[in-house]
Amino acid sequence: MGYLEKLPRRIVVLYLPLAVFVFVLLFPFYWMAITSVKPNHQLTDYDNYSPFWVVEPTLDHIKYLLFETSYPGWLWNTMVIAVASTVLSVVCSVLAAYAIERLRFQGSRMVGVGIFLAYLVPPSILFIPLALLVFKFGIYDTQWALILTYPTFLIPFCTWLLMGYFRSIPFELEECALIDGATRLQILTKIILPLSVPGLISAGIFAFTLSWNEFIYALTFIGSSENKTVPVGVLTELVRSDVYEWGSLMAGALLGSLPVVILYSFFVEHYVSSMTGAVKE
């Protein structure tokens, strides 16, 4: 790292790229924030008002979003669906990853590859047969329609991620526990899972983020306004023909992104460490 000792080189090689990266990363949030508090007459009047700043900010867009639309209900629906589908997916992924990596049955490696390949199937192909199942079981326009269909694309990747993390745990720990008379369930709950907390957090964050932002299934399987999720509700209820409620749209997008941002900010260290453990082998 000797090339970073001199300040000019450090500015060009380190600080300038970081500044560009931070700007590109945070500018969309800044744009959503200023648009959500701009009066309507300032949104398109660039001759008299700067597009990058707010004059006479207002909370009318946020009030309209929270009190004149079903946005609080959409937010609650999204939270319930994301949490439930994440828990279901992580539980199934833990069992699948443990069986593939630790039980050492014949063909386990091919099963693992097949599970990961299942993740590569586009959701736009699967939603047609899944729609038939949703209508057949009578769960259309309910939260269960999304809670039970989201794991179809969450479980494959979470399983692949946990397989890599379980592989990094020494087999000697498990063998010693078997000699002492521990069952496979005891080994999983008392040895493997406590050592795999970063991997579980990473899989949970991944599953929660995809569930929170998913659009195709939520648009297809939910019909009533009160049962919609945030991505679908904001787009379908705040756009009327050629009229776009830009202030409320941006406020809804900004408020809808905050839970994921908060989640990442609390667990970013565990997320990075788990990804390192998953791919290093």
* pLDDT attached to residue 1: 55
Model confidence at 280, pLDDT cuts 50, 70, 90, reads: very low
Query: In one letter, which amino acid is 259?
Result: P
Looking at the chain, the domain(s) classified CATH 1.10.3720.10 span 67-279
pLDDT in tens, 92-125: 999 999 888 888 777 777 887 888 787 788 877 8
Find, among 111, 112, 98, 104, the residue nearest to 195 by Cα: 98
Total Cβ atoms within 10 A of residue 72 = 12
Domain 67-279 falls in which CATH fold?
MetI-like fold (1.10.3720)
Confidence band (pLDDT; 50, 70, 90) for 263?
confident
Beta-bridge partner residues of 240 = 243
Mean pLDDT of 188-213: 88
Q: What average pLDDT does range 7-15 have in this prediction?
A: 75
Per the CB < 8 A criterion, the answer to whether 231 and 255 are in contact is no
Tell me what pLDDT residue 129 has. 87
Q: What is the mean pLDDT of residues 166-179?
A: 85
